[in-house]
Each structure stands twice: as structure tokens, then as C-alpha cells.
Amino acid sequence: MVGRDPEEGGRAATPLELLFDLTFAVAFSAAGNEFAHALADGHLVGGVAAFCLSVFAVCWCWINFTWFASAYDTDDWLFRALTMVQMAGVIVVAVGLPTLFTSIVEGDHLALAVPVAGYVVMRVAMVLLWLRAAKHDPQRRRSANAHIVAILAAQLLWCLLALADLPVMPGMAILLVPIGVEMVGPYLAETRDGGTPWHPHHIAERYGLLVIITLGET
């Protein structure tokens, strides 16, 4: 799994990537439906908070995988298997969204168990992909290792939060810590540790296709 050529001609989204986008569009649709129900019941603040948290979880996993695939997509059986694991994970997240929304809009304890379980499944699959990249691409191993450390640290924090069963207000505030770890890790890996050979035209196409598929799903 060496880095792909960022100037490769004719690079386009694969059927696997399109299927990946479709599963994430289902999660976006589920979050949108729950948000609409919250607004209809008069829970504006709670609905917005739950929607933002849900969309962050889904978007962040999609972004991480998409940029990784742009740089390292081998389209072999192991890459496909780990991609499908992430598809399963986002469906688990979607299944847990109704309970999460209810817990937030009603001001109860944060019901994070199911969404976090699905999220961690996706992120662990990403760790395995980064481990493979670190093994086969020594030139960018430092960057891959930085991604791995950040992802694992964040998942530990997410699991602790899910197990802590915190009230909504302090729980939402503490959520900023693992979110910060999730976002700072890739920034440092890409800016200080050499970065990865992502393909700009492929990335642009992937974002455009996700928007189209999501609009079609909704």
C-alpha cells in the first residue's frame, strides 16, 4: 500500500466508493429525520445540538476515509473488507440516532452507547488501514503513525464518555475534548509529518458525488 500518484490522469471514484457514499447518505437522512421531529416538537436547541453531533460523527468518518482512499486506495480484498466494515459502522450509528436525539432534547443523560459503538467500529477500521499504509510506505510512516495515535486516543475518550452516562449539559461540553483530538491529529499529521499523496481532482469529485447522493436520498 504505497502512496498513489497525486497527478494520476483519469482518476475517478470507484463503485465501492459510491456504495460507501450511499450508506453515509442513509445516516445523513436519519439525522435529518430526527432533527425534523425535534423541531416539530418544539425542541430547537436540543435538536440543533443533537443534529450537529450526529452530522459531525458521520461527516468526520467519511472525510477521513475519503482522503485516505484518495492517497492509498489499492482496491484489493483487504481494502474492500475494511471499507465494508466502515459501512456497517455508519449503519450502527444511524440506528442509534433516535435514542441519542431523545436523550438530548429531553435533557436526560446522553445516550451515546450505540452511536459510539458504530463510530468506534469505523475508526478502528481506519486505524487498520493506516497501519497498513505505515508498513508499506516508509516515506510517509511518520504521518501515518500520527493519524493512528490521534484516532486511538480519541476512541478511548469516546468510549469513556459513553460509559460515563453523563447528564446532557456537562456531557456535551466534555464532547469537545475528543472532537478536538479527532481534528487536531490529522492537521498535525498532514502539516508537520509529511502529509499524504491525495489526488485533488479525485477529492473534488468525491465531495460532489456525496452531495448529489445525499440530496437524492433525502
Question: Does some domain include residue 209?
Answer: yes
**CA–CA distance, 78 with 213 (Å, rounded to integer):** 26
Please check whether residue 172 lies inside any domain of the structure: yes
* Residue ranges making up the domain that contains 32: 15-217
Contact at 8 Å (CB) between 193 and 143?
A: yes
> For residue 95, is it within any domain?
yes
Residue 8 lies in a domain: no
5 inside domain: no
The pLDDT tens digits of the residues spanning 74-100 come to 889 999 999 999 999 999 999 999 999
- H helices of the chain, in order, are 15-40, 44-72, 77-105, 113-136, 141-164, 168-174, 176-191, 200-217
148 in any annotated domain:
yes
Say whether pLDDT at 22 is over 90. Answer: yes
What secondary structure letter does DSSP report for 5? P
How many CA atoms, within 13 angstroms, populate the side-chain half-sphere of residue 68? 28
Q: Is residue 2 part of a domain?
A: no
The whole-angstrom separation of Cα 31 and Cα 26 is 9
How many Å apart are CA 46 and CA 103, to the nearest integer? 9
Q: State pTM to two decimals.
A: 0.93
* Number of domains making up the chain: 1
In a domain, 137, yes or no: yes
Query: Range with the lowest mean pLDDT among 55-59, 159-163, 194-198, 201-205?
Result: 194-198
Write out pLDDT tens, residues 122-172: 999 999 999 999 999 998 899 999 999 999 999 999 999 999 989 999 999
